[in-house]
A = this chain, B = another copy of it.
Amino acid sequence: MKVTINDVARLAGVSMKTVSRVINKEPSVRKKTYDTVMDAVKELNYQPNLAARNLAGTSSFTVGLVYDNPNAYYVIDMQNGVLSRCKDEGYELVIHPCTYTDANMKDEFITMIKRSRLAGLVLTPPLSEQSSITNLLDELNIHYVRVLSGRPSDDDQDTCIYVNDYKAAYEITTHLLTHGHENIGFICGDKEHKSTSERLEGYKAALADHHKEFDKRFVYDGKYSFESGVEGAKHLLAENNTLAITAILGGNDEMAAGALFASRLMGIAIPEQLSITGFEDSPFSRQTWPKLTTAHQANDVISQHAARLLFTKTRGARNQDKDIITSFTPSIVIRESSGPKQ
């Protein structure tokens, strides 16, 4: 039942160290030896024991995923992405949800690190934006990869995967502008999240490129929540829509859904009288009626690349993964909630 490296070695007629070399893709193994060993591995359906590898080796086969994000859809997507990559590469994933406070963070990390040495951590927003965390990890000498909202130039490419919310917001705003909308509202998410400012900047840039002046009356400060979307729409469309808004950009799908709901209650036809767009392409955007035009963020793919980036760090120079994408731009998905200005 339990197949060990020795069984493989015996069958292949080599030493156990050679088998170890083969399964770790170390250099200096003759092609023929490699094949013999691989045949034995397959024949016995050998799976290296993770605990033993972690215990014996200098590098670990365990990575951690840390999240502090209320959005379950987001978390699951990120997790699935990292997980699928781990599975492919024989790594194990330790999940670590946590509500961020400087105080308990340190202890938690240290405990986690001590319990099982980690190859590294994948940090997701908004945790990934906290410099106190990255400082702590630097101090503890733990590898990490951050998924961040931002533009590629910002920071170092070795530790970050960027999601170009700026560009996506620029494009979605442009989409609305080219469809004749002149007065476009924007419902912002939490001020503390970097994605909020990035998306707002993209919105502003698109307006500027279309020679429209930015007017802060068109912006509502929300909270990335449904309620906040409801409030935002109410606010922007107040007093019989004196601002003559014909389109609203939601900072995320949840807020867009809220805005959509509020608009309906006000008797506004979507998309005839008002176009509404979301952000993220979460299941949310398909559970509204009409479905939301939004920016599709391939979170699972993003997190897969984050994992790959992390793996390259522990594996050292050998076995580098050259095809890692470190910058993603969400792409617009046009659905029924937006249309030309009428």
A186 CB to nearest chain B CB (Å):
21
A262 CB to nearest chain B CB (Å):
8
Contact digits for A84-101, partner B, Cβ 8 Å, 1 yes 0 no: 000000101111010000
Across the interface, do A116 and B49 meet the contact criterion of CB distance under 8 Å?
Answer: yes
A208 CB to nearest chain B CB (Å):
34
Across the interface, do B47 and A55 meet the contact criterion of CB distance under 8 Å?
Answer: no
Q: Which residues of B contact A49 (CB under 8 A)?
A: 55, 114-116
A76 at the binding interface (Cβ < 8 Å): yes
Chain A interface: which size bin?
35 or more
Across the interface, do B114 and A47 meet the contact criterion of CB distance under 8 Å?
Answer: yes
A97, closest chain B residue (CB): B80
**Distance of A185 Cα from B21 Cα, bound (Å):** 65
A72 at the binding interface (Cβ < 8 Å): yes
Q: Which residues of B contact A191 (CB under 8 A)?
A: none
Chain A residues touching B, majority SS: helix
A311 CB to nearest chain B CB (Å):
16
Q: Which residues of B contact A45 (CB under 8 A)?
A: 110, 114
A111 at the binding interface (Cβ < 8 Å): yes
A18 at the binding interface (Cβ < 8 Å): no
**Distance of A264 Cα from B261 Cα, bound (Å):** 10
Across the interface, do B287 and A50 meet the contact criterion of CB distance under 8 Å?
Answer: no
A91 CB to nearest chain B CB (Å):
10
**Distance of A117 Cα from B49 Cα, bound (Å):** 8
Contact digits for A268-296, partner B, Cβ 8 Å, 1 yes 0 no: 00000000000000010011110000000
A230 at the binding interface (Cβ < 8 Å): yes
Supposing A76-B72, A76-B76, A95-B83 touch, asked if A50 and B289 sit within 8 A by C-beta, the answer is no
Across the interface, do B116 and A50 meet the contact criterion of CB distance under 8 Å?
Answer: yes
Q: Which residues of B contact A95 (CB under 8 A)?
A: 79, 83, 93, 95
A112 CB to nearest chain B CB (Å):
9
Q: Which of B92, B254, B287 is A226 in contact with, Cβ under 8 Å?
A: B287
Q: Which of B52, B55, B114, B283 is A2 in contact with, Cβ under 8 Å?
A: B114
A119 at the binding interface (Cβ < 8 Å): no
Q: Which residues of B contact A76 (CB under 8 A)?
A: 72, 75-76
27 contacts between A and B (CB under 8 A): A2-B114, A45-B114, A47-B111, A49-B116, A50-B51, A50-B116, A51-B51, A51-B52, A51-B54, A51-B55, A51-B117, A52-B55, A55-B55, A72-B73, A72-B76, A76-B76, A80-B97, A83-B95, A90-B115, A92-B116, A93-B95, A95-B95, A226-B287, A230-B289, A254-B287, A257-B287, A261-B289
A residues engaging B (CB < 8 A)?
2-3, 45, 47-52, 54-55, 72-73, 75-76, 79-80, 83, 90, 92-95, 97, 110-111, 114-117, 226-227, 230, 254, 257-258, 261, 264-265, 283, 286-289
Given contacts A49-B116, A55-B55, 18 further A-B pairs with CB under 8 A are A2-B114, A3-B114, A45-B110, A47-B111, A48-B115, A50-B115, A51-B52, A51-B54, A72-B75, A72-B283, A76-B76, A93-B95, A226-B287, A230-B289, A257-B287, A258-B287, A261-B289, A264-B264
